[in-house]
Structure 1
Amino acid sequence: MPREEPRQPVPASLAQILRLVEELAQIGLWSIDLRSGVLSLSDGVARLTGLSQQTTRMEALRALVHPEDSPIFEEVSAALRTGIPVDRGFRIVRPDRTVRWVEFKGNVVLGADSRPVRADGLIVDVTSRHETTQSVLRNQARYEGLVQAIAAVVWLMSPDGVHQPSPSWCTLTGQTPEEWHAGGWASAIHPEDRERAASAWATAFRRQEPYEANYRLRRADGDYRWVSSRAVPVLNPDRSVREWIGLVIDMTSTASVMTQPRDLALFDISGPLIRSARAMLNWSIPDLAAAAEVSGSSIKRFEESGGAALRPRTRAAIRNALEAAGITFVARLSGEVGLVFRPVAPEAQRESRPDTAD
């Protein structure tokens, strides 16, 4: 039997290749005779704009431009006529009334007299890219708005521990940019809280894990305010740290906080609140009873009843024991009392929590 010869691939024409490129890349080619104003369009331009490929006048393309972007198109036209390459983006309104974002790119060809005679270029449909960019910008605006609403300070730090400029920190604390950049932030913290905050940060930085600490921060006017400082590492795909981002939230000036612990009336501390405080500390009733030097039955009755009557001395003892262990009571504008837990040094915590059995 005669051997069948292998089939040779059918060569594609340049027109077929051009059509494929235009469809896949969502582009179209155009050329303008700058002396006569005659416009030539490829199939790709016709598909993107909805114009007929037989369109020969620049005015037809100008009529598609969104009214708000007409000045941009006029700038493009003027630039081409004077021999300046163009690369601008604007919206077009297709005949079916759909709006598309396009990029209009072109180069100018000069004649023998060095005057512009022709401009060649392409139109790229960038609607999807533009929508993605707008979505990112909207999300960024939401993020920035949220941060501004809750944080007094936003800061960034490189993976090697170099602090990036933070005008908000310098404004709040009165520190110079040089002090902040050199890592002198701890000097703005109350001396009693400084070692604990710095130690917590050193541990988080070393382990590349989230950081959280509550401490008193000295403001530019010299007053101390309770703040909550938090930071997280932003990771690369390989799990290495790209940067750190942190927030400092002023706990005494937020809308939810009115007073500090010593301003609260003792009877505002309810049974459920004491139970929540114990949960934060991982304390049993006997633990709290030993720390406060009161009877466990009184605490149990107080918690289970939702706030049974206790003598003022007993209430004060319970509250003092919890505060010594790191619990802060805060009054909210709604009239409710909330809790904030700021870990104390291990030595102090051992002193405030006796070893007792459940």
Structure 2
Amino acid sequence: MPTRSLMRQQAGSVSPRAFSSKHFLKLVEDTGDVGFWSADLSKDRLEASVGLYRILGLDPTEEMTFGLGLDMIHPDDRAAHGDQIAVLRSGQPITREFRIIRPDRTQRWLLHRAEVMLGPDGRPSQGMGVVFDVTARHDSVRSMEQRHDRFNALLSATAAVFWINGPDGEPLEMPQWQALTGQSHSEMSGQGWLAAIHPEDRERTAAAWSTAVSHAAPYNTDYRVLCADGIYRWFNARGVPILNRDGAVREWVGVCLSVPGRNRFGSAGARSAGDRSPADIEEQVLTPAQVRGARGMTGLSKDELARRAHVSVSTIVRLEDGTSLVRPRSETVLAIRQALEQAGVEFTFEPGAKPGIREA
């Protein structure tokens, strides 16, 4: 190989011994953010390489001392890392990671590793160290942490459940699902997560998921989840396969998003008036009085309600007019109902009682 031929000694060539350790250290320094130092530990002055001066942002003509280096440590890190020279003088090696503030007021992260050599009397005599500028790694980690925090904030804002499944479709990481349903990891494993799905939605959900897994296709379906408080709530579940370069599924990632306006569907103990399927909802005909009362309770004008429901103002007028012979389509009424429910009201349809409203 080229490198080997360059390193092989040739007849009449200069002996490899002509290359001093300084040549190799310079080669290392020129290929990365690294610097070296050596010193008599009984003194304050140290010999520093050009690379170390560059990392510290100092003029190479300036005298380098232990005190100068320690003074550059970030105030927040000084208590934990200001003892480095004392530790070396006690005969112990060090590996420390800390921040410094350079003369130009820029901040850098450093990794410092140093060893001690003992003198003839067996006491610490000489020290040598290597300093790496690891700012880029810290910036990368911080960027990842920021993205993670933003992702968690987004999940919290959307009341979403994030999940990761294996290539076979079985759950791997679903802590938020466990918190939502109260299921343990063993209870949700395999097909156990389906036990938290409403019985009327379970077969359809299982079929949709099985189809997505078998075809490595995106998954998107709605179902009711039995939450830990014993109430069924509607969620939209969607996920996609993450593929390896060879096209094989590495894992599945997805979310379960709360469906606004369809958030309460009875308790686990019995099927109540609130435990309704989408077809049941359509049968719950909103009365003009309910719409007027809900709009009054939420303080929504006809214009604002129409905007939120994506319908015309005339549709709102007809829906609130008990004498109107024109009835809006069921999907239009459902959109208006959802907009009002999102604004903070709940429509009631109790047996033996008139349809009513109350605060959600």
TM-score, normalized by the shorter chain, greater than 0.5? yes
Q: Quote how far apart the aligned CAs of 1:321 are.
A: 11
1:165 and 1:181 in contact (8 A); partners too: no
Q: Quote how far apart the aligned CAs of 1:44 are.
A: 0.9
Tell me if 1:144 matches 2:152.
Answer: yes
Q: Quote how far apart the aligned CAs of 1:217 are.
A: 1.2
Tell me if 1:209 matches 2:217.
Answer: yes
Indicate the residue corresponding to 2:142 in structure 1: 134
Indicate the residue corresponding to 2:338 in structure 1: 330
Indicate the residue corresponding to 2:108 in structure 1: 100
Alignment partner for residue 315 of structure 1, among 327, 335, 345?
A: 327
Alignment partner for residue 131 of structure 2, among 99, 123, 138?
A: 123
Could you tell me which amino acid in structure 2 is paired with residue 118 of structure 1?
Q
Aligned partners of 1:252 and 1:156: how far apart in 2? 24
Could you tell me which amino acid in structure 1 is paired with residue 153 of structure 2?
G
2:37 and 2:128 in contact (8 A); partners too: yes
Aligned partners of 1:185 and 1:124: how far apart in 2? 49
Q: Quote how far apart the aligned CAs of 1:120 are.
A: 1.5
Structure 1 residues 210-225: aligned runs within 5 Å: 210-225=218-233
1:204 and 1:211 in contact (8 A); partners too: yes
Aligned partners of 2:65 and 2:225: how far apart in 1? 69
Structure 1 residues 1-358: aligned runs within 5 Å: 13-14=19-20, 15-49=22-56, 50-52=58-60, 55-252=63-260, 261=281, 265=286, 315=327, 318-319=329-330, 330-332=338-340
Any idea what the Cα deviations from partners look like across 1:137-170, whole Å, max 9, x if unmatched?
1111111111122134322222233422433322
2:240 counterpart SS class? strand
- When the two structures are superposed, what TM-score results if normalisation uses the length of structure 1? 0.68
Could you tell me which amino acid in structure 2 is paired with residue 108 of structure 1?
V
CA spacing shift, 1:73–1:184, aligned 2, 3 Å: same
2:99 counterpart SS class? strand
**Once structures 1 and 2 are overlaid, which stretch shifts more, 87-96 or 104-113?**
104-113
Could you tell me which amino acid in structure 2 is paired with residue 319 of structure 1?
S
- The number of residues matched between the two structures is 296
CA spacing shift, 1:215–1:19, aligned 2, 3 Å: same
CA spacing shift, 1:92–1:220, aligned 2, 3 Å: closer
Could you tell me which amino acid in structure 2 is paired with residue 174 of structure 1?
G
Aligned partners of 1:23 and 1:334: how far apart in 2? 62
Could you tell me which amino acid in structure 2 is paired with residue 116 of structure 1?
P
2:318 and 2:327 in contact (8 A); partners too: no
Aligned partners of 1:78 and 1:214: how far apart in 2? 65
Aligned partners of 1:181 and 1:79: how far apart in 2? 51
Aligned partners of 1:26 and 1:52: how far apart in 2? 16
- Percent of pairs identical after alignment? 37
Aligned partners of 1:247 and 1:254: how far apart in 2? 17
2:221 and 2:237 in contact (8 A); partners too: yes
Q: Quote how far apart the aligned CAs of 1:193 are.
A: 1.0
Q: Quote how far apart the aligned CAs of 1:93 are.
A: 2.0
Aligned partners of 1:78 and 1:236: how far apart in 2? 52
CA spacing shift, 1:146–1:31, aligned 2, 3 Å: same
- When the two structures are superposed, what TM-score results if normalisation uses the length of structure 2? 0.67
2:261 and 2:342 in contact (8 A); partners too: no
Could you tell me which amino acid in structure 1 is paired with residue 330 of structure 2?
R
Unaligned runs of 5+ in 2: 1-12, 264-273, 292-301, 303-308, 345-360
Aligned partners of 1:29 and 1:254: how far apart in 2? 65
Could you tell me which amino acid in structure 2 is paired with residue 46 of structure 1?
Y
Unaligned runs of 5+ in 1: 1-7, 271-276, 278-301, 337-358
Could you tell me which amino acid in structure 2 is paired with residue 243 of structure 1?
E
